[in-house]
Amino acid sequence: MFTGIVEEVGEIVDVRQSGEVVVLTVRGPRVSGDAAHGDSIAVNGCCLTVADPGGAQGDEFRLELVPETLKRTSLGGAAPGVKVNLERALQAGARLGGHIVQGHVDGVGTLLERTPGERSDEVRFSLPPDLARYVVEKGSITVDGVSLTVAGTDGDTFSVALIPTTLADTTLGLRAPGDPVNLEVDVVAKYVERLTAGYVGGPAPARRAPEQPQDQHGQDGAK
């Protein structure tokens, strides 16, 4: 679990193909400082597992991207030199500064328009049609791993207002119209939809058949 509060902007330094798996080497001195094999790190909002901490420079770590990740996120276009938002998994007892973020990317949107202000920017993104119902004004959404408040919605688009800190401390200050971004909607909205579907005219959740009682050895309890 993450919070959508980016800890540092890292850089992809190497991309290698190993069969159907793509191996990324990412430089991020802060998040790699205590990274261990098997740890979770969100890279542009995608929860990935550290396969090799440390790296040649001591401030790098390697990640393995399977076809499912490459298909469902913008990381399929990863290349050396690309900047990425990095966040380590949330520690129990830490402040939840953003919102509950799983690191499970729901879809890829596109930056459509940005309107610079004196110190802040208003940015509009496209939204995959199947995700639009989960996005509401003043609700939360994760864009490339950044927890943001939705400023407005219009059909299959939404807008956010980026404060100076977000512009300076995340890759959203670098993004231009046409760039793809990873999107994760609020998981609470998805659970609410699932749980209420049978009461508001939607399809009721499938029910599992009752299981036979089991004894302590895993055999059917009925004799």
222 confidence band (pLDDT: 50, 70, 90): very low
Provide the token pair at 82: 């690309």
Q: What is the pLDDT of residues 117-155, one digit of tens each?
A: 999 999 999 999 999 999 999 999 999 999 999 999 999
DSSP string spanning 63-121?
EEE-HHHHHHSGGGG--TT-EEEEEEPPPTTS---S--B-S---EEEEEEEEEE-SS-E
pLDDT at 94: 86
Strand partners, 30: none
Q: What is the mean pLDDT of residues 83-109?
A: 93
123-128 CB contacts, 8 Å cutoff, 24+ apart: 123/159, 123/160, 123/161, 123/162, 123/172, 123/175, 124/157, 124/158, 124/159, 125/157, 125/158, 125/159, 125/160, 125/181, 125/183, 126/156, 126/157, 127/153, 127/156, 127/157, 127/158, 127/183, 128/156, 128/183
Quote the percentage of the chain above a pLDDT of 70.
87
Q: What is the pLDDT of residues 167-202, one digit of tens each?
A: 999 999 999 999 999 999 999 999 999 899 877 665
Please state, in angstroms and rounded to a whole number, the distance separating the CA atoms of residues 127 and 119: 26
pLDDT at 55: 61
Cα three-residue angle 58-60-62, rounded to 5 degrees: 130
Q: What is the mean pLDDT of residues 67-96?
A: 93
Work out whether the CA dihedral 50, 56, 60, 66 comes out positive or negative.
Answer: negative
Q: What is the pTM of this model?
A: 0.85
